[in-house]
Amino acid sequence: MDKKFREDNAASPVNNTIGGVDDRRLIDLAQAGNKDAYGQLVLKYQKRVFRLILAMLGRKDMTEDIVQDAFVKGYLALDDFQPEKPFYPWIATIARNLALNQIKKAEREKPVSELDDSLIEKTESFSNPLDEFIESENERRLFGAIMALPIQFRSVFILRTLEEMSYEEIAQYLNISVGTVDSRLHRARERLVELLKDSL
C-alpha cells in the first residue's frame, strides 16, 4: 500500500494534539463527562475513520451512518477505554466491526456464487506489477479501483492490505474459512490488476 495511504490510516500516537490539547487530556475530560472534549476527538479522527469504512463498504451514505454510530458507541463505552492507549485504533475497531456486520449481512443477502476455492489456482506470490503500483504514489487510481471491487473481495483486500490482519483474523471476522480468505484475496488482486492494467 502506498506510503500516504498507509500513514493516513495508521494508529495515532497518544500524545497527538489538537488545539494544544493532547489525546490523553481530551480522553480524561471526556471520561469525566465533558462532551466538548469528546467532540474534539470526533473532529480529529472522523475523516480517517470515514476513509477506512468507505474503503470497506464503497457507499457514502452507509459509511456516514456507520461512522456516526461508531462515535456514539465509543462515547457510551468511554468508561471501558484505557486512556494510556491510543484512541484511533480503538474507535477504528468499533467502526470496522460495524462495517463488517454490514458486510456479513450483504453476503447473506447476496452470496458470491462464483467463488469456489477448488477452482482458484493458489500462488505463492502476488503480481509484482500490482505490488509495485501499491507501493507507488498512485493513491487516487488505486482507491478508485478498490471501490470498483465487489464488496466481498474489497473487504478482504482492505482488511489484509490496509488493516494488516492475518488470514486467520479475517476468517474469524467474516465467519468464512481461511481458504475462502485466500481465494477472495487472490481474486481481488486479479481484478485490481485488470482494472489498473493501463497504469501497471
Q: Do residues 75 and 165 both lie within one domain? A: no
Q: How many domains would you assign to the chain? A: 2
Interval 75-133: pLDDT, tens: 999 999 998 889 998 999 899 889 888 877 766 665 444 333 333 333 333 344 445 54
**How high is the mean pLDDT in each 10-residue block of the chain (200 residues)?**
48 44 89 95 93 83 94 95 89 90 71 38 40 53 81 87 85 88 94 79
Question: Is 38 part of a structural domain of the chain?
Answer: yes
Q: Do residues 163 and 136 both lie within one domain? A: yes
Range of the domain at 127: 117-195
Question: Is 151 part of a structural domain of the chain?
Answer: yes
Question: Is 159 part of a structural domain of the chain?
Answer: yes
Q: Do residues 152 and 173 both lie within one domain? A: yes
Q: Do residues 62 and 128 both lie within one domain? A: no
Q: Do residues 22 and 86 both lie within one domain? A: yes
The per-residue DSSP string of 57-74 comes to H--HHHHHHHHHHHHHHH
Question: Is 200 part of a structural domain of the chain?
Answer: no
Comparing C-alpha atoms, which of 132, 124, 146, 105 is closest to residue 9? 146
Domain termination residue (choose one: 109, 128, 144): 109
Q: Which helix (H) or strand (E) holds 17?
A: strand 17-18
Contact 101, 130 (CB under 8 A): no
Q: What is the CATH number of the domain that holds 141?
A: 1.10.10.10
Alpha-carbon gap, residue 197 to 191, rounded angstroms: 10
Q: Do residues 8 and 103 both lie within one domain? A: yes
Q: What is the CATH number of the domain that holds 27?
A: 1.10.1740.10
Question: Is 72 part of a structural domain of the chain?
Answer: yes
Say what the pTM is: 0.61
